[in-house]
Amino acid sequence: MSSSLSPAKSPHASSRSVAHLQLSLAMITVGSTVIASKIIGAGLDPMPATALRFAFALPVLLVLMRVTGTAFPRPGLRDAGLLIAQAAIGSVGYTVLLIAGTQRTSAADAGIILGTLPAVCALTAAVVLRERLRASTLVAVMVATLGVALVTLAPAAQHGGGSLTGDALLIGAVICESLFVLLNKRLATPWPPLALSTAMTGIGFAVSAVAALPDWAATLHALPPHALLAVAYYALVPTVGGFWLWYTGASRVSGAEAAIFTAVAPVAGVVLAALLLGEPLTPARLAGLALVVAAVFVTAAPALRRRPG
């Protein structure tokens, strides 16, 4: 009787709920990359580890392109140069700096710092693309900066092994990823997400494999199983699985609504660092996390207000 009186859930509401779950899971996989990177960095140098990540992911992405019938667009000379720059900066540079950073600092701090990406992307677009600099962007950047300052400047003895050098490398990783987003906006012909991800992986593999040539002999001679498993996880779960979850979920909601879910990534990184690596949840770390998550909401707020009905 009671069920007949309850309003039926609309297909649209159900679709949005599924999309929210997919976006949340995608960002949890992103948060888990700091754990994987910490394990990888304990056994492998960053450049060969980056090449191995792409080597694992590329065949899977190519199979997905074949199954879905996705084709590579034919880029002009300018777009080809932009794609190579994107891969070198946003794929190789980001991964190398992330692994190198987590070698020197805590996974929890890494998760918090990577959570500043939405604010940094908005600032980069305003400065480089001359997009209108909103007051909300400045507020978001200041709030995110304060959050990062809390975790980077806290005394190491009270904070679980943080390192200014490691934190600086992680900030560099965020800048690399923001430049990746910026370069993607400059492409004359927009690429399908799966094709772009596959291209970035293929070019990234070529660049990192060549850059790692001096290290291959030592790497292959002593390849720690735990590091290899972490590389495989990074390649298949956050790279391939996270990609699929994010773009499938994002296709069902507005861009501003999807952007809010990026706040899940730093939270997941900090929680997983505490659960899996035993890193402490210090007051400075929790306060920094809260500020970084708040910055995500401040960044997305203007677009959410513009969303119709």
Question: For 127-145, what is each residue's pLDDT tens digit?
Answer: 877 777 778 888 888 998 9
State the average pLDDT for the chain: 86
Q: Which residue has the higher pLDDT, 23 or 127?
A: 23
Is pLDDT at 59 greater than 80 in this prediction? yes
For residues 153-166, average pLDDT: 66
In which band, very low, low, confident or very high, does the pLDDT at 8 lie, cut at 50, 70 and 90?
A: very low
> Comparing 304 with 273, which gets the higher pLDDT?
273
Q: Is 48 helix (H, G, I), strand (E, B) or coil?
A: helix
**Residue 33 near residue 95 (C-beta atoms within 8 A):** no
Which of 44-48, 161-165, 202-206, 291-295 shows the lowest mean pLDDT across its residues?
A: 161-165
> Which is nearest to 108 in space by CA: 28, 26, 25, 38?
38
Mean pLDDT of 232-247: 92
Count CA atoms within 13 Å of residue 285 on its CB side: 24
Say if residue 1's pLDDT is above 60.
no
Q: 111, 174 in Cβ contact below 8 A?
A: no
Amino acid letter at 245?
A: L
CA-only gyration radius of the chain, Å: 20
More confident residue, 307 or 293: 293
pLDDT confidence of 77, banded at 50, 70, 90? very high
| pLDDT at position 12 over 70 | no
CB 27: neighbour CB atoms within 10 A? 26
Going by pLDDT thresholds of 50, 70 and 90, the confidence category of residue 10 is low
> How far is 280 from 103, CA to CA, in rounded Å?
17
Contact 207, 92 (CB under 8 A): yes
Q: How confident is the model at residue 259 (pLDDT cuts 50, 70, 90)?
A: confident
How does DSSP assign 169-192, residue by residue?
Answer: HHHHHHHHHHHHHHHHHT-SSPPP
Residue 302 has pLDDT above 80, yes or no: no
- Give the count of beta carbons closer than 10 Å to the beta carbon of residue 33: 31
- pTM of the complete model: 0.86
Residue listed under structure tokens 């923001």: 178
Tens digits of residue pLDDT in 176-216: 988 988 888 888 988 898 999 999 999 999 999 999 998 88
Q: Distances in Å between the alpha carbon of 234 and those of 34, 38, 67, 208, 258?
A: 10, 11, 22, 16, 22
Joined together, the tokens standing for residue 299 give 């960044």
Return d(Cα 278, Cα 35) in angstroms, integer.
11
Comparing 76-85, 137-146, 227-236, the range with the smallest average pLDDT is 137-146
Q: List the domain boundaries for the chain.
A: 43-302
User: What pLDDT was estimated at residue 141?
Assistant: 87
pLDDT at 138: 85
Distance CA 115, CA 180 (A): 16
